[in-house]
Structure 1
Amino acid sequence: MNQTSNNPGDSFQTNSLKAYEPEISPDDIWGDDALGREQIAQSLTHLIEKQTDSFVVSLHGDWGTGKTFLLKRWQETLKKDGFEAIYFNAWEDDFCPDPLVAIIGQLSEELESNSEHEFKVDDVKEKAELLFRKIADGLTKKYTGISLEKISETLKNHALDSYHEQIKYKNELRNALTDISAEVRKKTNRPLVFIIDELDRCRPLFAIELLERIKHIFDVPNMVFVLGVNRAELCQSLKSIYGEIDADVYFRRFFDMEFILPEADGGKFCEHLMNHYKVRDMFLGDKTNTNDNRNYPPSSFDSFQSIFRRLDLSLRDMDYCIRSIVFFGEKSRGGFDMYLFSLLMLAILRLKEPNLYREFIKGKCPVNEVLDCIDALIVDKSKDRDYEDFKLALLWSEALFYHLDSQINPDTNNAFDELINWEDGSVLNSPRFSKKTRTSNPDRIAQLRSVAQTWAKSMSYHKNFYAFAKLLELTETPTKKRQQ
């Protein structure tokens, strides 16, 4: 539920922390295509528009690559271009006892209610119902618990008759589907397109049986299936049913062609998340900070893309980290000053090293271990155009971590006080300094000292930093009081 803040100068509106699929504008279907998926949709259309045989395509993509975004908008584009195109979210229907029910239900609903043409689907529904009843009858007998020794010759003959009836009803259903797809071809001069999404999120048995149904029942002329899948997750479903099996060989039985959705641009995806969750509005609002003359580092928002890239975070990880920051922003309602880069580093630490993170906020882990861990997480240390800004942002963040550590562990020989009072040429003695700082040249240490002195002038930063850490754990871990 959306709420509006009552804090003066805070004009942002909270947003759901759950990712959602934005509504499609019928006048501008691809207007919000931040990841450039329209071109892929055009290629898919070119691939399937002339198909007259049965044709099954898989489109593989990891989480966040825009499969659902692409497939939903492609369906709308196809319909606008005169296709009969059906979108089916398999995960929403995996409660059905048999995928056949769900597929036929989607087919009949679309062709009866949402089509510009009139199609006779009663025959398809009738034949499907007969087949499903026979399948259900067979399953009932399978799970009655009757021992094999007690099965009579009559029952054996009945089982054989039941098998022949299933084959008969399956063929009748395929014939009815053939008639429908031929009717679609006649009226639209295009194949009937069935788009199936979220198959990898379904119950393993449902997912595999759906593929089997497509192969054995819907393998008819003028019918095209396009399935959006996460191949790795689908392989796990397959192995949970059949054990160790060559997934590539198995899936080639079902898919005529397979494609991999190009990885989304991390920078564009990050910007999409910032806009979706209204991060800038949430933390900046209408405030100008005109009275604050301190020398802050480059924009924290601009540094998000750099840190995600340099730590090689997945799209799912990016979403988690930004949602963590938004969660804090909504709870705080904008009434604070905060260096967001440090919040981001704390969220990343919790994601990548949850045990170390929890030990740190409880005061049981020295800050140098945290900083050394963060430094080890950085995989891209190339000195490109944003390197200096990134390096400066890390410096500010390191000093803030020392400041927080001095509040969590005030009785220790903390690094923050020693850093503030450091004199040129002297040696850093506290074991709580990071490895990088203990081996740094005097110029870097002097720069770090200057930043620490800036943090010391504001008592709000480390408090909000610690509040963020506690909020992510949904706890109120007490901070030891600093002795005066």
Structure 2
Amino acid sequence: MSDEKKSVDALTFEDRDEFQRKPIAEKVVRLLMSGIEASPMVIDGNWGTGKTEFCHKLINLLREADDAAQVQVAYVDAFKADHANEPLMTLIAAISNLIEDEETAKNFKEKAIPALRYGLKTLGKAGIAWILKKNADDIPDEFEEVLQEAAEDSINAAIEQSIKDHQDIEAALVTLQKALEQIAQEKPLILFIDELDRCKPDFAIAMLENIKHVFDVPNVQFVLVSNLRQLKDSINHCYGAGVDAQKYLDKFIKYSLQLPADFSPDRYNYTLAAVEHAKQLMEKSSLLQNSDFSKRNGLFQFLEILIRENELSLREVETFVRHLEIAQLLGGEKYFTNIVFGVELLRLIGVYIYSFEKDAANKIVSEKTEALAITRTFGIWSFAETEQFDHNPSHQQVMARILMLENQGGVEGVSERNKNNDDGWKKEIAAYFSGSLRHGMDGYYTKVIADTVRMLQLGV
């Protein structure tokens, strides 16, 4: 079975480990099996950094461990359960599915039902209260006195019922926890909760609070695979911007680790995981595997600069490479193959801008662009960075030099003197565009970028 056809949940680190994360996973397994109270733990990472794939590989690694038979492991996609808006039910269902013995599973569900019923019951009460409030204005004045007396009686009854409900739910939760403890005593439980950062804030926080207050049971561990920054935003959404989200999380989370953006083939050679991901995607692409991205180091080096400067996630890299494939398809098989190097760089810039800078892309095709809107995508923020000729200028400096001189809008420091490039700059730029018949024509460089954007927009 090929990697492309193999489902994510069946992947292992043996299938692929391009970001060299197996050592991290092995340490997580050791921690989970150690008995140290590190649960709930969070595996943190930005969107698009491969958290879900890492989670499934980690689960499979855990199941292959020497003492794997001693634990029960479940995976919960919180985002898929979000629509039900019942985090308690989601967790109970995940645990029920782990119980192999039918009688034990049935007994556990029966003990969980009172806690679940209470949640539905409180929803019903809220609806009734809303109806009563909505219709209160329609009650005639002569009934106000009777209503007041009835209201006082209702309030007293409601308080008594609320106390009873509180006692009932406490009893139901204790029953549930004892049943859970008995199951986990025989075989510890490890639940992986994924995609929590994609859920509605109310559901995400309810899930955290259920884990803390209902499932704080010996031998039950939780691993949350989520973006911590997004979880903090959810906390502030629910409880207000004045709440210290980090302190709130500290009440729930006992250990967290962040998936690194870098991996190291050896201790002296660190490479961004996103760059390696781009390389592997291009090697697998029938459209790009024979392009100058693989043949000419300079073109891929500029791609790497765009990835690094803009801190692209793995998912964003996939978007970028997909658009490069589309450009190669629409522009012809030689769009990034055996053509003028400077033109290739400008086209690459055009694909990046189309992919991630929509406002700049629209301005470029409308001929309203400013140089800095383009050059900042590859790390050049001022004309001063290109004013003095360096005998070995970087690709960024050369591209920025030609674009800033061609598009002076909003660029400080451009003068008539600066337009008269010295011989060094002229020779360097000529080397980048050797063989281009239109090189040097007014607006030529920006037009190459604009043509690329327009092509990706499926324009003429």
Normalising by structure 1, report the TM-score: 0.71
- 1:391-416, Cα deviation, whole Å (9 max, x unpaired): 247647976x79xxxxxxxxxxx969
Match of 1:443 among 398, 408, 424: 424
Deviation at 1:178, TM superposition (A): 0.5
* Paired residues of 2:42 and 2:256 also in contact (CA < 8 A): yes
Q: Which amino acid aligns with 2:262?
A: A
- 1:363-411, Cα deviation, whole Å (9 max, x unpaired): 2336x555654575469x99xxxx9998247647976x79xxxxxxxxx
- 1:87 is aligned to 75
* Paired residues of 2:38 and 2:255 also in contact (CA < 8 A): no
Q: How many residues align?
A: 408
- 2:93 is aligned to 105
- 2:197 is aligned to 200
- 2:348 is aligned to 344
- 1:403-439, Cα deviation, whole Å (9 max, x unpaired): xxxxxxxxxxx969xxxxxxxxxxxx99999959737
- 1:9 is aligned to none
Cα separation, 2, equivalents of 1:130 and 1:462: 68
Q: Which amino acid aligns with 1:447?
A: E
Cα separation, 1, equivalents of 2:250 and 2:411: 56
* Counterpart secondary structure, 1:161: helix
Q: Which amino acid aligns with 2:277?
A: H
Cα separation, 2, equivalents of 1:262 and 1:66: 11
Confirm or deny that 1:214 pairs with 2:211.
yes
Runs of 4+ that moved beyond 6 A? 387-390, 396-399, 429-434, 457-464
Structure 1, gaps ≥5 residues long: 1-14, 185-190, 289-295, 403-413, 417-428, 479-484
* Paired residues of 2:13 and 2:57 also in contact (CA < 8 A): yes
- 1:262-312, Cα deviation, whole Å (9 max, x unpaired): 233453422223423657531355x89xxxxxxx97442344224433x25
Structure 2, gaps ≥5 residues long: 137-147, 264-270, 338-342
Confirm or deny that 1:246 pairs with 2:230.
no
Deviates more, 1:54-63 or 1:135-144: 54-63
Compared CA separation, residues 373 and 269, structure 1 to 2 (3 A)? closer
- 1:329 is aligned to 328
Deviation at 1:175, TM superposition (A): 0.8
* Paired residues of 2:196 and 2:224 also in contact (CA < 8 A): yes
- 1:271 is aligned to 276
* Paired residues of 1:56 and 1:224 also in contact (CA < 8 A): yes
The correspondence of residues 71-82 of structure 1 with structure 2, limited to 5 A, is 71-81=55-65, 82=68
The correspondence of residues 31-70 of structure 1 with structure 2, limited to 5 A, is 31-51=15-35, 55-70=39-54
Q: Which amino acid aligns with 2:235?
A: L
Cα separation, 2, equivalents of 1:257 and 1:177: 23
Match of 2:362 among 336, 344, 358: 358
Deviation at 1:111, TM superposition (A): 3.2
Q: Which amino acid aligns with 1:242?
A: Y
* Counterpart secondary structure, 2:75: strand
The correspondence of residues 177-196 of structure 1 with structure 2, limited to 5 A, is 177-184=180-187, 191-196=188-193
- 2:300 is aligned to 301
Cα separation, 2, equivalents of 1:247 and 1:432: 41
Q: Which amino acid aligns with 2:234?
A: S
Deviation at 1:194, TM superposition (A): 0.9
Deviation at 1:88, TM superposition (A): 1.4
Confirm or deny that 1:283 pairs with 2:288.
yes
Q: Which amino acid aligns with 2:57?
A: R
Compared CA separation, residues 134 and 333, structure 1 to 2 (3 A)? farther
Q: Which amino acid aligns with 1:89?
A: D
- 1:435-481, Cα deviation, whole Å (9 max, x unpaired): 59737431221231354452227999998754430244x352x6xxx
Cα separation, 1, equivalents of 2:300 and 2:274: 14
- 1:97-118, Cα deviation, whole Å (9 max, x unpaired): 2101111112222334xxxx88
- 1:106-155, Cα deviation, whole Å (9 max, x unpaired): 2222334xxxx888222222222221111111121023212496435434
Q: Which has the higher helix share?
A: 2
The correspondence of residues 372-387 of structure 1 with structure 2, limited to 5 A, is 373=376, 377=380
Confirm or deny that 1:158 pairs with 2:142.
no
Compared CA separation, residues 374 and 261, structure 1 to 2 (3 A)? closer
- 1:261 is aligned to 259
Deviation at 1:33, TM superposition (A): 1.1
Compared CA separation, residues 432 and 215, structure 1 to 2 (3 A)? closer
- 1:165-192, Cα deviation, whole Å (9 max, x unpaired): 11111111111111110121xxxxxx31
Cα separation, 2, equivalents of 1:90 and 1:415: 51
Cα separation, 2, equivalents of 1:430 and 1:261: 41
* Paired residues of 2:184 and 2:219 also in contact (CA < 8 A): yes
Q: Which amino acid aligns with 1:49?
A: M
Compared CA separation, residues 369 and 177, structure 1 to 2 (3 A)? closer
* Paired residues of 1:119 and 1:180 also in contact (CA < 8 A): no
Deviation at 1:237, TM superposition (A): 0.4
How well do the aligned residues superpose, as a CA RMSD in angstroms? 4.2
Match of 2:177 among 151, 174, 197: 174
Deviates more, 1:387-396 or 1:219-228: 387-396
Identity %: 21
Compared CA separation, residues 301 and 281, structure 1 to 2 (3 A)? farther
* Paired residues of 1:138 and 1:162 also in contact (CA < 8 A): no
Match of 2:221 among 207, 221, 224: 224
Deviates more, 1:30-39 or 1:167-176: 30-39
Deviates more, 1:87-96 or 1:258-267: 258-267
Q: Which amino acid aligns with 2:121?
A: D
Deviation at 1:196, TM superposition (A): 1.1
Compared CA separation, residues 450 and 214, structure 1 to 2 (3 A)? closer
* Paired residues of 1:91 and 1:202 also in contact (CA < 8 A): yes
Cα separation, 2, equivalents of 1:356 and 1:318: 19
- 1:23-82, Cα deviation, whole Å (9 max, x unpaired): 634xx5443111121111111122121328683212222224332222111111112222
Compared CA separation, residues 281 and 142, structure 1 to 2 (3 A)? same
Q: Which amino acid aligns with 2:122?
A: G
Cα separation, 1, equivalents of 2:325 and 2:216: 48
